[in-house]
């Protein structure tokens, strides 16, 4: 199973466009089950005084962890650049699901990292920073990290409009399937 995660809770984001396109590319290229999750759907009340205790984990996160994180042998993380890094909601999400079934959720799984930015670097810094965290968690990070730059010029509000970007994402998905 492959799980694709849009790594921001910002509504109507370009990250969501890229993540959904990648998800659809995976679905057409593999018979493996592919799931999609957007951090827009993270319950706002996951922050509580007991969130770092197994019994304090939010029930919606426990279900998500049991249904699409732990069973996945591969994760694809699409993350925008926020202040030269990755979004805080992504860090909070990883922290919140790490309190229960840590090894089963993270260890010896594979992860692809895709950065999204309106600038020219495609969130390379955030990709590198998250690579360190992913390695610490026990993931094997796919060496073909993919920065998507100038995202506003390659998309409109509804879709990716640039053929080269679409082909690049599809090729990356093919390579990650074989990883």
* Residue-level pLDDT at 162: 96
The pLDDT, as a whole number, for residue 10 is 95
**64-98 burial string, b = 16+ CB within 10 Å, else e?**
bbeebbbebebbbbbbbbbeebbbebbebbbebbe
* Residue among 128, 117, 110 nearest 150 (CA): 117
Q: How far is CA 87 from CA 79, 138, 163, 178, in A?
A: 7, 21, 28, 29
Domains with residue ranges and CATH for the chain: 2-178 (3.40.50.360)
Please give the chain's pLDDT, 179 residues, in tens. Answer: 999 999 999 999 999 999 999 999 999 999 999 999 999 999 888 888 888 889 989 999 999 999 999 999 999 999 999 999 999 999 999 999 999 999 999 999 999 999 999 999 999 999 999 999 999 999 999 999 999 999 999 999 899 999 999 999 999 999 999 99
> What was the pLDDT predicted at 11?
93
């Amino acid at each position: 199973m492959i799980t694709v995660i849009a790594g921001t809770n910002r509504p109507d984001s370009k990250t969501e466009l890229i993540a959904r396109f990648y998800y659809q590319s995976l679905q057409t290229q593999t018979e493996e089950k592919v799931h999609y999750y957007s951090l827009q759907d993270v319950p706002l009340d996951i922050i509580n005084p007991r969130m770092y205790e197994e019994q304090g984990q939010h029930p919606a996160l426990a279900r998500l962890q049991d249904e699409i994180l732990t069973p996945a042998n591969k994760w694809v993380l699409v993350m925008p650049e926020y202040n030269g890094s990755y979004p805080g909601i992504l860090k909070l999400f990883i922290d919140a699901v790490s309190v229960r079934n840590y090894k089963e959720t993270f260890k010896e799984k594979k992860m692809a990292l895709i950065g999204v930015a309106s600038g020219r670097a495609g969130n390379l810094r955030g990709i590198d920073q998250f690579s360190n965290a992913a390695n610490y968690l026990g993931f094997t990070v796919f060496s073909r990290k993919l920065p998507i730059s100038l995202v506003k010029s390659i998309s409109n509000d509804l879709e990716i409009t640039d053929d080269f970007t679409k082909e690049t994402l599809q090729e990356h998905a093919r390579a990650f399937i074989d990883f």
